Structures are given as C-alpha cells and as structure tokens.
Amino acid sequence: PHHRHIPSLSLLAVRILKRALLWTYISATILRGLVLGVYEKQSDNDGIHLTEAAAAFDRSISGKLSEMLSISGPPLKKGKSRIFYGLHQDFPSAVVVGLGKSGTCVCGKENWNNCKENIRAAVSVGCRQLQDLEVAHVEVDPCGDGQSAAEGAVLGLFEYDELKTKKKVRVTTQPYGSVDSAAWQKGVLYGDGQNLARQLMEAPANHITPTVFANSIEQKLSPFAHKVAVHKRPQSWIESEQMGAFLSVSKGSEEPPIFLELHYKGSLDSAQPPLVLVGKGITFDSGGISLKPSSGMDAMRADMGGAATVCSAIVTAAALKLPINIIGLAPLCENMPSGKANKPGDVVRAKNGKTIQIDNTDAEGRLILADALCYAHSFKPRAIINAATLTGAIDVALGSAAAGVFTNSDWLWERLHKASIVTGDRVWRMPLFQHYTKQITESALADLNNIGKYSRSGGACTAAAFLREFVTADHWAHLDIAGVMTNKDEVPYLRKGMSGRPTRTLVEFAAVRTSRDLRV
C-alpha cells in the first residue's frame, strides 16, 4: 500500500513545480507596464486621436486599443486615465492618459506652455497608477515631447518615504518607441534635480542639519569633482568675513553654522563672469525669541528651500554639462530660541558695515542673505539670483501659482520669465518701489530695521527692499518662494508635500544662457 502513494506525491510535486514556473512567468511580465497618450477630439465627428507612439502600439495589436477605448466609456479628458489588461504580451498593463487638445501650446493668459504641462500631468498620472499596481518597470509614450514626458514620470513617481518601513515600489522608466534620447535624458535630469530639492526639504530637521546638508550636496557633486569645487566654510571663516548678521541668527542654536560655497566651472572661457545663485539655508526655523505658533511649525524644516533649490540646480547644471560658470552660496544655520539668541531690539552689523535693528527675530532669512549677497559681489558676477522662503506675505499675494520675483533688471526678469514659461514653474514680477525702501530705512537705533515700519503691509515687498540694501550689482533678482514651498494638489504632477520649486526654472534659465549672453 505504501508504494501506491508515490505516484500521487510525484503528481503533487509536478503541480507545485508548474505553479511555481507559472508564477515566475507572471511575476516577470506583470511588473512591466506602458503609458500611452490620447488627445481630446476636436469635434464630435472626429475619431480617436492617438499619439504617434500610441498609434504604432495600436497597429501592433490590430486596433484593439482603439476598439477598447471606444467601448470602455466616454472619451478621455485631460488628465484622466483608463487602464487595460492583456492587450499585449509584453505589457500586461497599459494605461492610456488624456493629453487634452493637440496644438494648444504657449498660453499668454496662463504664462506657460499648455502642451508641456498637459504631458507632464498626464504621464505622472499613468506612472502613479502603475506604481500603485506594483509595476516595477514602465515604458512611457514621449507624447511628442520627450523632455516633458520624462519630467512628468520622474516628478510624478517621487515620494519621500525613506524613514518608513513600508515603501512604495521603486519604478524604473524608459521611453517607448522612437524618441529623442537626449531630450528624454534632459528631462530625467531636470526631474532628478527638483526631486533632490524635495528630498532635502522634506527630510526632518534632525536629519538635515547645516552640516548634513553641506555633506549631502558635496556627495551629490562628487561625480563632477573635476568641474566643481565645494567649500564648507566653518564658523571661524564666517567670523573672519565679518558676517555679523548671519552669525547673529546662528548663535541661538547648538548646531554650528556652515557657509556652503560651490564653484561650477562649465565654461572654457575662464574670463566669463559667473552667474551667482544664493539660497536661504535655515534648516529649521522656530522663529527664535519671536516664537512661531506650534501649529504647522514642523513645516519649517523646509525653510532651507532656497538653499535646496539653488544647490540642486547646480548639481543638475553639472550633470547637464552646461557651458557656463555658476557659483552657489548657501548660508546654513538654525533659528532657535536660547539664552544666546537674538532678542527683539538687538542691533547687529552686516558684512558691508550697515547696522540692522532686529525688531522681529522671525525675520531672520533676510539677515543671513544680507551677508551672503555682500559676499556674492566679490566674484564680479554677471547676475545674482537669490531664492528664499522669505515671507508668508508672498503666499498671501500669489499663493502657490508662482514665485514672486523682485528685480532691478529688466534683462534678468525677461529671461527668468521665459524660462518659467518653458518649465511651467512660473514666476511673477513684484514691485521694488522706494515706497518700501523708506519703511525699512527709518529705524530708531540703526541704519535698517529688519521688518519695516508697517510690518503687516506689503511684507514681501519690504523684505525685498531690505535685501536690495545689500546689492550693488546691475542684475539682481530675489525670488520669494514661500508660497510655492509645498504642494497640496495644485501641481498635478507633484505629490502632496514639499515641492522643490522652482529648481527647474533656475536650471532652464542657466541652460539657455550662452557664453556671449553672460559676458559683461
């Protein structure tokens, strides 16, 4: 009787082996997905308008995609998606995404390129849908613009989950069909740059201190060491440079300040004046003695968003091998309350000798930027651009629609504006009237007051006027990015959280500058 069980055991083993092989096959195939684009109909009489890549895919499966789109529901609107299974043996899961109407590109009213924005939004929707299905490899329809498609994929898939036990599946992407590989790779690098800024801004303040921030950027730039010099200036150097405003903010914290200085030498012309980017680097802002409300204070881990975007832009410029010279400056410290911290009414002296009455210790960003801007002039720059999560007032004025730009240069404004139209990460010009300058130069105890006579009126404008007191360059722009620091659901291709804006606009501005354009 015992031997009678042997055949049944063998049969069971065969069945188990078959199931294991089947599961291995399914696992190898189900983890691949495809994102394809479809345009809205121009009129009710039009047929389904697929992209070039989607049409080629449709032909390869004898029109099944068009057939399924016709019978599965109403035509796809912009940003909507529909998923199909089993259409193609290589792609068990295929997501079709709506691109809106074709041919609607630069929009003067919206100040961006509709085509590019639609592609970014649509591709991100498709990639996320496949990520939720734990598809690990996704091929993406370039939708006629490989760079925008790559940006949508890279930006849309990012989520900060480094400190979570359960993480989302890591998805690799590549273009589907014929594509300009250089454009796709450029989009990947643009997206990676903004994601680096998002990662730095999202990380808890006990994980990204001034020292850790500087080390992180140094590590990111290590592959480009032949083109980039990294200087992590310690407190002794800051003192030797007489940066009294910066030091006054940092002294309230146990964390030592760092003045991060990056030199990217991309131009073969050593005489080319550099573009200098300056970023506010408050790695946590409690408000100091003028303590912020506890509600929402955790978001102040991202008060170094200016430094994050500036440094990430330089990392991206190096990866792109841009043929210009860029210098990045990031004063890094915490703004904390302690027995050593600034007190309301204190007077400090900036690097250029001007004295500043500190009536609100929570207006600290302009103090550290004042010294950094003074130092920026020592490089005889073609232009200076600083970025800072500087005022809640800019959020009140513009919300998350655009970063506010205050500039003394029409030349610089026009180029920043054009760059933002391409990236969809918009900027909007704000005034630098003498009206605001008078408010910060009328101080009882010093040359300047750090919040101005009317602290609640035109706060973003008075902050910009304060910074202008430390600028002598002909081409300077201050980007107040407090309003675009976070994303709720305003930018469809970014998940909720820190946005990393406007990294891509800074990169695009640098990318389209030529050696001749940057020459004095």
What pLDDT was estimated at residue 354? 98
Mean local confidence (pLDDT), 78-83 = 95
One-character DSSP codes across 56-101: HHHHHTTTHHHHHHHHSSSPPPTT-EEEEEEEETTEEEEEEEE--S
Pairing of the two strands 32-39 and 137-140: parallel
What pLDDT was estimated at residue 413? 98
Q: Per the domain annotation, does 469 fall within a domain?
A: yes
Task: Answer yes or no: do 228 and 173 share one domain.
Answer: no
| Tokens, residue 107 | 């929009």
Closest listed residue to residue 369, CA positions, set 333, 321, 319, 409: 333
Confidence of residue 3 (pLDDT cuts 50, 70, 90): very low
Q: Coil, helix or strand for 476?
A: strand
Mean local confidence (pLDDT), 453-465 = 89
What pLDDT was estimated at residue 18? 59
Strand residues in 167-297 grouped as ranges (E): 172-175, 228-233, 258-265, 275-279, 281-285
User: Does the pLDDT of residue 17 top 90, yes or no?
Assistant: no
Q: What is the pLDDT of residues 425-453, one digit of tens each?
A: 999 999 999 999 999 999 999 999 999 88
Under DSSP, the state recorded for 2 is: G
Please name the amino acid found at residue 451. Answer: I
Residue scoring higher pLDDT (513 or 136) = 136
Confidence of residue 13 (pLDDT cuts 50, 70, 90): low
Task: Answer yes or no: do 452 and 348 share one domain.
Answer: yes
Percentage, residues of the chain above pLDDT 70: 92
Report whether 176 contacts 146 (CB < 8 A): no
Which positions ≥6 away from 441 have C-beta within 8 Å? Answer: 447, 448, 449, 469
Task: Answer yes or no: do 157 and 244 share one domain.
Answer: no
User: Does the pLDDT of residue 273 top 60, yes or no?
Assistant: yes
Q: What is the pLDDT of residues 205-253, one digit of tens each?
A: 999 999 999 999 999 999 999 999 999 999 999 999 999 999 999 999 9
Q: What is the pLDDT of residues 106-120, one digit of tens each?
A: 999 999 999 999 999
Q: Per the domain annotation, does 138 fall within a domain?
A: yes
Measured in whole angstroms, the distance separating CA 406 from the mean position of its chain's CA atoms is 20
User: Does the pLDDT of residue 1 top 50, yes or no?
Assistant: no
Among the candidates 148, 179, 210, a domain finishes at 179
Q: What is the CATH number of the domain that holds 165?
A: 3.40.220.10
User: Does the pLDDT of residue 19 top 80, yes or no?
Assistant: no
Among the candidates 114, 146, 179, a domain finishes at 179
Q: What is the pLDDT of residues 366-415, one digit of tens each?
A: 999 999 999 999 999 999 999 999 999 999 999 999 999 999 999 999 99
Task: Answer yes or no: do 215 and 175 share one domain.
Answer: no
Closest listed residue to residue 466, CA positions, set 376, 365, 339, 384: 365
Q: Per the domain annotation, does 188 fall within a domain?
A: no
What is the rounded distance in angstroms from the CA atom of residue 139 to the CA atom of residue 174? 5
CA-based R_g, the chain, Å: 26
pTM above 0.85, yes or no: yes
Q: What is the CATH number of the domain that holds 356?
A: 3.40.630.10
Q: What is the pLDDT of residues 282-302, one digit of tens each?
A: 999 999 999 999 999 999 999
Task: Answer yes or no: do 290 and 427 share one domain.
Answer: yes
Task: Answer yes or no: do 45 and 156 share one domain.
Answer: yes
Size (the chain), residues? 520
- Count the neighbouring beta carbons within 10 Å of the beta carbon of residue 4: 7
| Tokens, residue 188 | 């990947």
Task: Answer yes or no: do 240 and 154 share one domain.
Answer: no
CA-based angle 511:517:519, to the nearest 5?
120
Among the candidates 116, 148, 179, a domain finishes at 179
User: Does the pLDDT of residue 281 top 80, yes or no?
Assistant: yes
Task: Answer yes or no: do 339 and 394 share one domain.
Answer: yes
What is the rounded distance in angstroms from the CA atom of residue 456 to the CA atom of residue 458? 7
Residue scoring higher pLDDT (27 or 502) = 502
CA-based angle 446:375:252, to the nearest 5?
60
Buried b (16+ CB within 10 A) or exposed e, 55-75: bebbeebeeebbebbeeeeeb
Q: Per the domain annotation, does 384 fall within a domain?
A: yes
What is the rounded distance in angstroms from the CA atom of residue 474 to the CA atom of residue 382? 8
The alpha carbon dihedral of 45, 50, 51, 52 has a sign of: negative
Measured in whole angstroms, the distance separating CA 60 from the mean position of its chain's CA atoms is 38
- Count the neighbouring beta carbons within 10 Å of the beta carbon of residue 104: 13
| Tokens, residue 171 | 């998805």
Q: Per the domain annotation, does 424 fall within a domain?
A: yes
Q: What is the pLDDT of residues 24-67, one digit of tens each?
A: 554 444 589 999 999 998 776 777 899 999 999 999 999 999 99
Annotated active-site residue 292? The verdict is: yes
Of 292, 349, 429, 453, the active-site residue reads 292
Of 366, 415, 468, 501, the active-site residue reads 366
Q: Per the domain annotation, does 194 fall within a domain?
A: no
Domains of the chain: total: 2
Q: Helices marked H in 110-234 — which ranges?
A: 114-132, 146-157, 181-202, 210-221
Q: Coil, helix or strand for 227?
A: coil
Q: Per the domain annotation, does 20 fall within a domain?
A: no
Confidence of residue 6 (pLDDT cuts 50, 70, 90): very low
Task: Answer yes or no: do 33 and 161 share one domain.
Answer: yes
Q: What is the pLDDT of residues 317-372, one digit of tens each?
A: 999 999 999 999 999 999 999 999 999 999 999 999 999 999 999 999 999 999 99
Mean local confidence (pLDDT), 134-143 = 97
User: Taking every pair of C-alpha atoms in the chain, what is the biggest distance, in angstroms?
Assistant: 107
Closest listed residue to residue 95, CA positions, set 59, 60, 67, 131: 131
Q: Which residues form the domain of 51?
A: 28-179
What pLDDT was estimated at residue 520? 41
Q: Per the domain annotation, does 297 fall within a domain?
A: yes
Mean local confidence (pLDDT), 191-201 = 98
Confidence of residue 12 (pLDDT cuts 50, 70, 90): low
CA-based angle 236:242:247, to the nearest 5?
65
Task: Answer yes or no: do 323 and 252 share one domain.
Answer: yes
Assign residue 289 a region: left if phi > 0, alpha if psi is -120 to 50, beta otherwise? alpha
Report whether 335 contacts 284 (CB < 8 A): yes
Task: Answer yes or no: do 156 and 218 share one domain.
Answer: no
Strand partners, 404: 428, 480
| Tokens, residue 129 | 């849908």
User: Does the pLDDT of residue 4 top 50, yes or no?
Assistant: no
What pLDDT was estimated at residue 161? 96
What pLDDT was estimated at residue 456? 76
Residue scoring higher pLDDT (517 or 165) = 165
Tell me the C-alpha to C-alpha distance, in Å, between residue 236 and each of 243, 279, 327, 338, 350.
11, 21, 21, 21, 16
- Which residue do the tokens 């304060």 mark? 466
Q: Coil, helix or strand for 452?
A: coil
Mean pLDDT, all residues of the chain: 93
Which positions ≥6 away from 35 have C-beta within 8 Å? Answer: 94, 95, 97, 123, 126, 127, 130, 138, 139, 140, 141, 153, 176
Task: Answer yes or no: do 174 and 221 share one domain.
Answer: no
Report whether 103 contacts 109 (CB < 8 A): no
